[in-house]
Amino acid sequence: MLESRAGKGFLEGMGSARAEASNLTSGRISRIRRGVLDWYAREKRDLPWRKRPTPYRVWVSEILLQQTRVETAIPYFRDLMRRFPSLRSLSRARVDEVLMAWSGLGYYRRARNLHQAVREVEERYGGKVPRSAEALRSLPGIGDYTAGAIRSIAFGERAAAVDGNTFRVVARLQAYRGDPKRSGAMGRVRRWAETLVPVRDPGVFNQALMDLGARICLPRNPSCEKCPVRGSCRARKQGLARSIPPASPSRSRRVREVAAVIRRGGRVLLARRPEKGLLGGLWELPGGEMVDSLPEEQFLRDLTRERLGLQVRVVKRLGEIRHSIMDRQIRGVAFDCRVEKGRLRTRVYEACRWLSPEEIRDVPITGATRKYLPHLAKAARPREVEV
Ligand code: SF4
């Protein structure tokens, strides 16, 4: 009966979880499980967090992998494990040390939340990562996906872990066209995923589904001909694979930013962003987003006066960077600036410091400022002005 509705958007409008799950007949479930697990046994990637999947290591890896590609996350994971080999060592670190280790990865809220959460685990659970979904989800930075990943991979609990990759695979298997940004669609796919997760080795199955989504069932160009579950995939049969999930309109916005390189002796002025807010607590070259159509030099002069209390002369353009953060595609330009008068006051920033190139390496800086660093060497030797 349900099978015969497949051509018309399959299960669309059917309310109960039971009816949704019933679509996954026992034969189909076992074919999908077997296909996914056999493929994974052959194709599994050798990733550092897969060796010794302790709750702490799984947790750190899952937080890193939010918004970050696997290849990028690997060296950060190794470095974090070297600096903070245990949950206790991470909980005792200063937030600056954690941000340093995260430097260049973006989405720094993840690092702050992780740090805060391990401290809570130390205080509330005696340093043992809790097992229950409820307790995990009460920790900063842990939602349904991360809780499911930790429970299944580290504790062997039968729990689904539905990230973007898993959503895509399961939605395609079911030819379901719901938008993953809508909670109803996410809930429905999660229930299907829970049905698919086996009692035995649930974490292996979840990782296999994630890998399948990352390597075969790709967003734009799924390799259906190589897919181990193609025989069970309704989207493939109906020619819908590429249109599931529906594309969301691009929200990216192009912005221009300017940054001031103000030097004193061999040091450069860096400012610390407010704790609360985007990139909170990180250090950066003073500057900001252009909000009107003024020439860049004039905008930068106004900005340094307002934010730092310094009147500067813009001496020369040092270089340009491209940087993306959240929905913003940034074109940034750094200028060599010379102080003409004024006294340094921090109005918008939490603090300002003159830092040598070596000292800059020891503070957590924003990704954009990291990209500006090679241009700093080009800054002209300033006439020194005491600020
Ligand atoms: S057959 Fe194609 S669409 Fe279906 S799960 Fe495999 S790769 Fe994805």
Q: What is the DSSP track for 33-90?
A: HHHHHHHHHHH----GGGSS--HHHHHHHHHHHTTS-HHHHHHHHHHHHHH--SHHHH
Q: What is the fold, at CATH topology level, of the domain defined by 3-243?
A: Endonuclease III; domain 1 (1.10.340)
Q: What is the pLDDT of residues 271-326, one digit of tens each?
A: 999 888 788 889 999 999 887 677 899 889 989 998 899 999 999 999 999 998 87
Q: What is the pLDDT of residues 229-284, one digit of tens each?
A: 999 999 999 999 999 999 877 678 889 999 999 999 889 999 999 888 788 889 99
The pLDDT value recorded for residue 1 is: 29
Residues whose beta carbon lies within 6 Å of some atom of ligand 1:
169, 172-173, 216-217, 222-224, 227, 229-230, 233, 235-236, 241
Residue to probe by mutation, ligand 1, list 174, 229, 243, most atoms within 8 Å of CB: 229
Residue to probe by mutation, ligand 1, list 24, 165, 217, 243, most atoms within 8 Å of CB: 217
CATH architecture for residues 253-376: Alpha-Beta Complex (3.90)
Check residue 348 and give left, alpha or beta (phi > 0: left; psi -120 to 50: alpha): alpha
Residues of the chain with CATH 3.90.79.10: 253-376
Ligand 1 center to 239 CA (angstroms): 10
C-alpha span between 86 and 72 (Å, rounded): 22
Q: What is the DSSP track for 89-121?
A: HHHHS-HHHHHHHHTTS--THHHHHHHHHHHHH
Eight-class DSSP state of 365: B
Cα-based torsion angle of the residue sequence 136, 140, 142, 144 in order, rounded to the nearest 10 degrees: 80
Mean pLDDT, rounded, for 42-57: 95
pLDDT at 3 over 70: no
Ligand 1 center to 232 CA (angstroms): 9
Q: Atom 3 in ligand 1: which residue has the minimum CA distance?
A: 241
List of residues 6+ apart from 220 with CB closer than 8 A: 242
- Tokens 């999908």 belong to 32
Mean pLDDT, rounded, for 371-375: 92
Mean pLDDT, rounded, for 371-377: 88
pLDDT at 19 over 90: no
The pLDDT value recorded for residue 14 is: 38
Q: What is the average pLDDT score of the chain?
A: 89
Catalytic residues: 62
Mean pLDDT, rounded, for 27-37: 96
Q: Atom 1 in ligand 1: which residue has the minimum CA distance?
A: 230
Residues of the chain with CATH 1.10.340.30: 3-243
Ligand 1 center to 72 CA (angstroms): 26
User: Could you tell me how many residues make up the chain?
Assistant: 387
Q: What is the pLDDT of residues 100-148, one digit of tens each?
A: 999 888 778 899 999 999 999 999 999 999 999 999 999 999 999 999 9
pLDDT at 75 over 60: yes
Check residue 241 and give left, alpha or beta (phi > 0: left; psi -120 to 50: alpha): alpha
> Partners of 335 in the beta sheet?
260, 317
Copy the structure tokens of residue 253: 């916005």
| One-letter identity of residue 138 | S
Q: What is the pLDDT of residues 183-242, one digit of tens each?
A: 799 999 999 999 999 999 999 999 999 999 999 999 999 999 999 999 999 999 999 999
> Rounded to the nearest 10 degrees, what angle do helices 55-65 and 70-83 cross at?
140
Ligand 1 center to 225 CA (angstroms): 8
The pLDDT value recorded for residue 5 is: 30
Return the H-helix or E-strand segment holding 260: strand 253-264
Ligand 1 center to 296 CA (angstroms): 49
